[in-house]
Amino acid sequence: MLVVAGTLTVIGWLMQHLADQGLIANGAYGIATLVAGLPIIFKAISALRARVMSIELLVSIAVVGAVAILEFEEAAMVTFLFAFGNFLEQRTLQKTHQAIQNLMEMQPTTATMVVDGQYQEVEIDEVDEEAVLVVRVGDQVPVDGEIISGSAEVDEALITGESKLVDKTTGDQAYMGSIVENGQILVQAQKVGEDTTFGKIIELVEEAQDNQARMSKFIDRFAKYYTPFVLVVAILILLFTKNLRLAITILVLACPGALVIGAPVSNVAGIGRGAKAGILIKGGDVIDQLAQVDTILFDKTGTVTEGRPTVKSIKEYQEDHWLALAADLEKQTNHPLARSIVEYYEKRGQKTTADFNLPITTIKGIGIQSEYQGQTIWIGSRRVLTENRIELTAQQSRDLQAIENDGQSVVLMTVDQKLVLMVGLVDQVRKGVKETFEKLKQSGIDKQWMLTGDNSFIAEKIAKTIGINQVKSQMLPEEKALFLEQLQNDGRHVLFVGDGINDSPSIAKANVGIAMGNGTDVAIETSDVVLIDSDFSNIQNARRVAKATMRNTMQNVGIAIGTVALLLIGVAYGWVNMASGMLFHEISILVVIFNAMRLLRMKF
């Protein structure tokens, strides 16, 4: 359609200005106007039915007016240039959506399942959780799951953005979309299809690009009122000057095409740049909020630390099977400390956890509780002691003090109000955490708080390591959320970073909630931003993307408004006619688009 309209417009211009064939020229112009103008008119009619006076309405009235005064060249030029501007906009948006299309194409479509010792190739939709799959050299991992046999060098660039190969062996996690470059592994499926990390990436980016930012919504409202305003101005000019051509020119040149697309193009480009770096920003509203953040709150375990603690010390106060029972109960939870205790027990003498079949009750911020042979079992933090009014012996107090002084997190097990087991665990601080906090402070986030359920000694030690001097320890999830709300009531724009289920209330309540990609599904679902590879430095990069996108949007708004103002001044002084004005109008749209595209090349 666009090609036909453009060709006919060129033919008309040649016939009119070079061959002096006015009749043929007007015929070519007329057909070009119909071809390019009918879709515009249909859009205007649809908008009117919805009681919206759109930009297309301005163009439609201007074109009909130009035809009425026999200015066929102007009508053809206006419709073609407006259609060409829409084409450029769509091509730009398609380019920023290309990342999603590429991801969709990269999804594995088949898998090799192990059934009764035989390899069976099946469609990916036929793979269920718990299925065992073989992945050989050159194959893509078709699910998220645990490697139960074999070892391999795996390319996880599609998931983490890191180009270097990762060594994987039994017990490690494998992610859908990863490619085995060397070796062979058996993977037991834990997540399939849309529930995989790969599936979540696609889903989150799609949601993000469908959302609109506050600036974008403002511009939509602006256009809603701007169109009738311009119509009134054009009518008044016609009434006072009796110059129909001038009134129609005003209608055409006042169309703020660049303004309408400025915010969406910037937002999509910004979201696309974030996704390329493993930062999933869920919509334009998030970009707006993230740019305004001045306070950061963050969890400790799994957020500033790796979330993979290891058992360093263990004290058993009764010669019984309490460690085995603790491991059995802890395997029913997904807390990082719990998983570490299970792993420690299973590696200790190559044992596997016993199967006591005991139900547990999770007490948020404290631990778990169960019943065993008529005895009440508690496993959890120091709060277990205060919750049950348990007093320690002198030796137990010295052990606890020594473990905490060493910076270890403590898990305690009590049986009928007696301490039977004390486990000390250590977790490593993520790389680059201290540097990231310093950069965030320099960028305007001057309030930085670490909130943790751990004891104050360990919290202070970690805080000192990462350069933070504001810490709140031994906090329950609801206490974290309440503290966050108090800061918001004081006018602070709060960013919360976490990874666990207990972080979800704060992540949801914050102005912007960020979830580490290795966190729980609940935290990821409730967050506004997901860091796929859990790279802490990407918190700063996410904010840089947000601020750059907002600056880019304001630049586009300035370009659009400035163009309209200059064109109207040109019309008033007779320097600009309808065709030349429309050409400059479309050039401004190109400028806005190319300005937004700069975000895709943003360097970190």
Question: pLDDT tens, 156-185?
Answer: 766 654 445 778 888 888 888 888 888 889
According to the model, what pLDDT value does residue 208 have?
45
Q: Which of 73-77, 336-340, 507-511 has the highest mean pLDDT?
A: 507-511
CA–chain centroid gap for 388, Å, is 42
According to the model, what pLDDT value does residue 519 have?
62
Distance, CA of 98 to CA of 91 (rounded, Å): 10
Q: Dmax over Cα atoms in the chain, in whole Å?
A: 109
Rg (CA), the chain: 32
Amino acid identity for residue 524 in this structure: I
Structure letter (DSSP) for residue 501: G
Helix (H) or strand (E) holding 51: none
Distance, CA of 366 to CA of 326 (rounded, Å): 15
Residues 6 or more apart whose CB falls under 8 angstroms from that of 459 comprise 300, 450, 452, 471, 472, 473
Strands 375-380 and 367-372, how do they pair? antiparallel
Structure letter (DSSP) for residue 302: I
Cα angle 529, 530, 534 (rounded to 5 degrees) comes to 135
Structure confidence at residue 212 as a pLDDT band (50, 70, 90):
very low
Instruction: Find the helix packing angle between 433-442 and 456-466, rounded to 10°.
Output: 70
Could you report the per-residue pLDDT of 567-584, keeping only the tens digit for each?
888 887 878 877 677 678
- Mark whether 285 is an active-site residue: no
Distance, CA of 18 to CA of 14 (rounded, Å): 5
According to the model, what pLDDT value does residue 502 have?
66
**Residue 222: is its pLDDT beyond 60?**
yes
Distance, CA of 487 to CA of 300 (rounded, Å): 19
According to the model, what pLDDT value does residue 581 have?
76
**Residue 263: is its pLDDT beyond 60?**
yes
Work out the average pLDDT over 42-59. 76
More confident residue, 61 or 120: 120
According to the model, what pLDDT value does residue 457 have?
78
Q: How many residues can be counted in the chain?
A: 604
Could you report the per-residue pLDDT of 357-368, keeping only the tens digit for each?
788 888 876 888
- Six token digits for residue 112: 């090799």
Q: Which of 36-50, 483-497, 505-519 has the highest mean pLDDT?
A: 483-497
According to the model, what pLDDT value does residue 219 have?
59
Work out the average pLDDT over 446-463. 83
N- to C-terminal Cα separation, the chain: 41
Work out the average pLDDT over 93-99. 53
* Strand-pair partners of 279: 531
According to the model, what pLDDT value does residue 423 have?
92
Task: Check if the beta carbon of residue 137 is closer than 8 Å to that of residue 118.
Answer: no
321 backbone φψ class: left, alpha, beta (φ>0; ψ -120 to 50): alpha
Of the listed ranges 136-150, 224-238, 548-562, 587-601, the one predicted with least confidence: 224-238
Distance, CA of 254 to CA of 555 (rounded, Å): 19
More confident residue, 544 or 430: 544
Distance, CA of 180 to CA of 155 (rounded, Å): 6
According to the model, what pLDDT value does residue 541 have?
92
Work out the average pLDDT over 543-571. 88
Residues 6 or more apart whose CB falls under 8 angstroms from that of 562 comprise none
CA distances from 375 to 94, 369, 370, 416 (A): 63, 11, 8, 6
**Residue 378: is its pLDDT beyond 90?**
yes
Structure confidence at residue 88 as a pLDDT band (50, 70, 90):
low
**Residue 521: is its pLDDT beyond 50?**
yes
**Residue 154: is its pLDDT beyond 80?**
yes
Of the listed ranges 33-42, 71-80, 121-130, 378-387, the one predicted with least confidence: 71-80
Could you report the per-residue pLDDT of 124-144, keeping only the tens digit for each?
888 888 889 999 888 888 888
Distance, CA of 411 to CA of 11 (rounded, Å): 82
According to the model, what pLDDT value does residue 489 have?
93
User: Which of the following is catalytic: 285, 299, 328, 454?
Assistant: 299
According to the model, what pLDDT value does residue 90 have?
64
Q: Taking all residues of the chain, what is their mean pLDDT, rounded to a whole number? A: 81
Instruction: Find the helix packing angle between 538-572 and 214-241, rounded to 10°.
Output: 0
Could you report the per-residue pLDDT of 389-415, keeping only the tens digit for each?
888 999 999 999 888 888 788 899 999
**Residue 216: is its pLDDT beyond 90?**
no
Amino acid identity for residue 173 in this structure: Q
What are the φ and ψ backbone dihedral angles of 419, each rounded to 5 degrees? -75, 125
**Residue 326: is its pLDDT beyond 70?**
yes
Distance, CA of 287 to CA of 215 (rounded, Å): 10
CA distances from 230 to 68, 149, 418, 524 (A): 20, 70, 80, 46
Buried b (16+ CB within 10 A) or exposed e, 414-445: bbeebbbbbbbbbbeebeebbebbebbeeeeb
**Residue 548: is its pLDDT beyond 90?**
yes
